[in-house]
Structure 1
Amino acid sequence: MNDAPHILLLGGTSETAPLAVKLATAGYQVLVSTATDAALAVGDHPAIHRRCGRLDRDQLAALIDQERMMAVIDATHPYARDVHQAARDAATHSQRPYLRYQRQALVEASGDVVTALDHDEAAQLACADGRPVLLTTGSRHLGPYVAAAQHNGIALYARMLNHPEAVAACEQAGLADNGRIFGRGPFSLEQNRALIRQYHIGVLVTKDSGRAGGVAEKLAAARLEQCRVIVVQRPDETTENTFDDMDRLVAALQQCCPVSTVSKIGEMK
């Protein structure tokens, strides 16, 4: 095997490829781990490889030990709280450095933007308006929105990635077929505007997924189409090892795990 330090990069977002390439270019062997096998660019470099499938804390720790990983970099979605905790715990258990890349926040509350603490509150706020709701937060928290929409007798549309897990989530939550909009973002301003007009949307629900997540285009489209916006707040998880700049993250990794380091697990324990 290559003597370059092996790094576990937890990805799945649009930043996965550029961050993986930066790491590989800096001299690391990079294993990109994603929860699903959905199509995703991970970077065109011989030192980058990919695995797919969800892992809990113990499975992550086992992977770290088996593949002789020298560090864990968490570049998963800003709202993937359970993944962040599992990754931190696994790194701690395996005595490896944990570094997290987090997109810069973009949304601030204003006259036409209301923030909600969680999905339950967002669902109540969105469905109390009496107008059709467009949900753009993915498929993992459909339940509260479907229940609130049915209770208030309003139309609910959810835009999400076309993947078997998303379809299963729709079935479990009871979201009707005509309420499912499949597509892969980020979406342009005009794509968002067209969707809002097509379904006569009055309320748009989003997360603050940052500029890379297409939030700016959603907010601009909603403003132009006179939609109310509900934003689910980010989990408050920022730590000293959290970076919103990839170059700073790579520099920090080079401090704790120099490329000259040979992966000798026995010396780390």
Structure 2
Amino acid sequence: MNTRLDGRVVLVTGASSGIGEATALALSAEGARVAAGARRADRLESLARKAPGEVLALELDVTDQESVRAAVAKTVERFGGLDILVNNAGLMLNSLIVGADTTEWTRMVETNLLGSMYTVHAALPHLLERKGTILQVSSTSGRIASAYSGVYAATKFGIAAFSESLRQEVTTQGVRVVVIEPGFVATELTSHITDPTMQAAAQEMAASMRTLQPDDIANAVVYAVTQPEHVAVNEILIRPTDQTR
């Protein structure tokens, strides 16, 4: 077994499925001690059983600052510190802007953008202490906005802006900031879409290409966080070969 992260402590949000679950397992395989957070805590027990190393399952709602602070505190209490934060929790509810259910906008902003910010805020003192790494899972929608995904794209553009500001603030203190922008990945993300037309369009898009798998993104995460301390991989854009934009 590779142990490039032997003894390092990682907190992964949105770890109950998809990219988050694959990333938690990949980092565990590299020797990390993993705190896996998600709202669906029951799924985390299954993750803990599959992981080759120690996993702390945490019920975590990133939209709730108290929940975020408690998850970080429990991680540090259990493992003695924090070296890597993987901000992965996300929600995609694509729809037309005209006539949209704006409560879905609020949910996306609170989960994707504010949730990411809250988690950074809670974890940052510990990451500064250990000269750690913050990895933000964004999207190709954080580079190119398209019709029907305006609010989702806005949250991902927001992550890019926040992450670059954060990078400039902490990089000279030894904390690295990485943004990963996946294209179309075969996960549950599109199943959150409530608009039947948008849901069908997402399924049609997935069927039209060889989509990325969660493990593909997890491998990119492992690459970024195992670089020598003087190397900061700040951005990784990763699309399916078949995806044009």
Structure 1 length-normalised TM: 0.42
Larger relative contact order, structure 1 or 2 (CA cutoff 8 Å, min sep 6): 1
For normalisation by structure 2, the TM-score amounts to 0.46
Which has the larger strand fraction?
Answer: 1
